[in-house]
Copies of this chain bind each other. A is one copy, B any other.
Amino acid sequence: MKFDKKDILGMKDLSVEEINLILETAESFLEISTREIKKVPTLRGKTIINLFYEASTRTRTSFEIAGKRLSADTINISASTSSVVKGETLIDTARNLEAMHPDIIVIRHSAAGAPHLLASLVKQSIINAGDGAHEHPTQALLDMMTIKEKKGRLKGLKIAIVGDIAHSRVARSNIYGLTKMGAEVLLAGPATMLPRDIDQMGVKVFNKIEDAIDGADVVMMLRIQLEREKQNIFPSLREYAQRYCLNRKNIALAKKDVIVMHPGPLNRGVEISPDIADDPSYSVILDQVNNGVAVRMALLYLLGGGHE
């Protein structure tokens, strides 16, 4: 199968076949990062721009490492040091970058839809590295790769996602992706953190964490944005932790071989207890990070038209 998408904007747009191709390509790239010489000439002479309007260590670093291991030239632009301070619109920035002939632009932006706007304006490939509370497809793909790696499949698995669903691009992308691949997705969170009509996305919705993780193969905990406490979306961090923190007690409701995931960075003691986060018999959090580099290599490769 040939991959013929120009952009990776969201899990909503990807077909089952495309997702399978990306995951298989990523699996084949996993080995490069364990070599003595972690570099292949695949994308030599290609230019990749990481255009980050929001601070990020892990996603930007993951993309930069992925690009460099494929021998691409990588250019970082962050909002704080860019001419964004001069008030340039995203449209003008996009057209300007286009005129410098990059091959791929990776964008993170606080506004939902920014990557889609960019993709409609420029002929280069765009990868969405997170847009507002909308989508974060590379996170969902690395999550799916990790689940497949541990469980051998996605289809038929019972996967709980717990936390602030409404404000989470990670949740949204995973819901699109996992339901498409045939998994059963169960959500839990306070009513203020559950989007209306969310049940129309083909998921089951609960208020209690216990109901969602009961019998789960996978539990995915979302990061609480600590600044939301002030917005009265939930009463207090302490109360949130009492009701929704994944801990030794409630994890016992899940399947015995349940795996625990988190997109990071972790608020230990808020959404996840430290002993669960650091217990290798449950936690696959670092496998997610490892697979993240491979998924991004796969996407850069598939979009960059590389060949060894």
State the A residues within 8 Å of B (CB): 33-39, 44-47, 49, 52, 55-58, 61-62, 64-65, 68-69, 73, 75, 77-78, 80-89, 92-93, 95-102, 226, 264-268, 286-287, 289-290, 292-293
Query: By the criterion CB–CB under 8 Å, are B39 and A293 in contact?
Result: no
CB nearest neighbor in B for A65: B100
Q: B56, B81, B289: which contacts A78 (Cβ < 8 A)?
A: B81
Residues of B within 8 A of A35 (CB): 45
A260 to B200, CA, bound (A): 51
Q: B47, B61, B99: which contacts A286 (Cβ < 8 A)?
A: B99
Residues of B within 8 A of A39 (CB): 44-45, 73
CB nearest neighbor in B for A81: B78
Residues of B within 8 A of A87 (CB): 226, 265, 267
Residues of B within 8 A of A99 (CB): 286-287, 289-290
Query: By the criterion CB–CB under 8 Å, are A57 and B93 in contact?
Result: yes
Interface pairs (9), CB distance under 8 Å = A34-B101, A38-B47, A39-B45, A55-B86, A56-B82, A61-B77, A81-B81, A96-B264, A96-B289
Residues of B within 8 A of A52 (CB): 81
A85 to B80, CA, bound (A): 13
CB nearest neighbor in B for A43: B37
A53 to B20, CA, bound (A): 39
Residues of B within 8 A of A292 (CB): 100
